Amino acid sequence: MIQMELFSDKQIVGKIEKHKAIRSPLFYVGDKYKLMPQLTKLFPKNIQTYYDVFCGGGSASINVEANKYVMNDINPKIIELHNYLQKNSSDIEKFISEMYNCIREYGLSLSELGKNTEIEELKKEYKKTYFAKYNKESYLKLRHDYNKDQSNTALLYMLLIYGFNHMIRFNSKGDFNLPVGNVDWNKNVSVALRNYANWYNENDVYVSNGMDFEKFIELQNIKKGDFLYFDPPYLITFSDYNKLWNDEEERRLYSMLDKLNEKGIQWGVSNMLTHKEKTNEILSEWATKYNRFSIKSNYISRFDNTQKIGSREIYVTNVF
């Protein structure tokens, strides 16, 4: 069970049981849905407009209570997928049915609707890659068709569901080039789609055109009572998601957060402080000015600089 514990120097200040988290149907890399019920306890109450500046899959929006939501990401494909899912949220059952038809058309696995005898046999020989073995040729056909017509967002969503680690990756020619993953359309996908549709239909949600974080902030009319959440790429880890992030971008982000703080605008940021014997020195120095919490897989605690662990994520905020 995930809990949040807030430690002072001498005593536990509070302990809050986990509420069920809602996962984004994008299943995007770096998704924090499991931590959001605890992380939001550190957010201000009665948020007017919630700005999800590096929204990714959107779990950091879906699990927050606010009067209005504004989502942004620099990746245009992420923005395209959010717009696509929101457009189809008015009749999500029809959308899911259409996805089933697309899956059948390509001959991909669909474990939500029951066991497949061929896959059950593959499990015996390929214990960790049976879905990948079954879906590979169908997936390659799907990928080929999408690269011929990248305006077909339905195919992009299918690639996200069946691709390796649910990632989005394009080569230098602009072609989607992620290999097949050992995943398929199971009940969790449909549940996530229904939850996302319910959230969107019941709330005031706006998705930006997709832009750099600083430009996005400059274009907003941020007011008292609003709150901005930042989950930027991690400087000291390597993945396709953060390969364009560098020291300059890191400093630019913190400079902007300092300016927002001077204006009285409330914000919170999650970031990786240490990873595989590397330390984000820029973050370490900058964060001392604000309220800091250590983020772990099972709880969030007040920052303790004496702890020495391999990977350490922290949450920094000007909300006190």
Q: What percent of the chain has pLDDT over 70?
A: 88
Decide yes or no: CATH 3.20.20.150 for domain 3-74+210-317: no
What is the average pLDDT value for the chain, to the nearest integer?
89
Please enumerate in sequence order all residues whose Cβ is within 8 A of that of 1, keeping only pairs 6 or more positions apart, or say none: 17, 18, 298
pLDDT band at residue 28, thresholds of 50, 70 and 90?
confident
pLDDT at 309: 55
For residues 161-178, average pLDDT: 96
What amino acid is encoded at 204 in this protein?
D
Q: Residue 61 and residue 231: Cα distance in Å, rounded?
A: 12
Q: Tokens 């009285």 identify what position?
A: 264
pLDDT tens digits for 254-301? 999 999 999 999 999 999 888 887 888 899 999 999 999 988 755 444
Task: Indicate the Cα dihedral angle 65, 82, 259, 47, nearest 10°.
Answer: -10
Query: Region 304-308: what's the mean pLDDT?
Result: 49
pLDDT confidence of residue 298: 52
Who has greater pLDDT, 305 or 264?
264
Q: What is the mean pLDDT of residues 27-49?
A: 90
User: pLDDT class for 302, splitting at 50, 70, 90?
Assistant: low
Using alpha carbons, select from 170, 12, 149 the residue that is nearest to residue 78.
Answer: 170
Cα distances (Å, whole numbers) of residue 91 to 86, 134, 290: 10, 31, 44
Whole-number pLDDT of residue 235 = 78
pLDDT attached to residue 9: 25
Domain segments of the chain as ranges: 3-74+210-317, 81-192
The confidence score (pLDDT) of residue 17 equals 39
pLDDT at 224 over 50: yes
Residue type, 83: N
**CA 143 to CA 141: how far, in whole Å?**
5
Q: In what helix (H) or strand (E) does residue 197 lie, and over which residues does it extend?
A: helix 187-202
Domain at 81-192: CATH code: 1.10.1020
Q: Is the pLDDT score of 190 beyond 90?
A: yes
Q: Is the pLDDT of residue 320 over 80?
A: yes
Which pLDDT tens digit goes with each residue over 99-126?
999 999 999 999 999 999 999 999 999 9
Report pLDDT for 230.
Answer: 97
CB atoms within 10 A of CB 303: 19
Residue-wise pLDDT for 1-20, tens only, equals 233 333 222 222 233 334 57
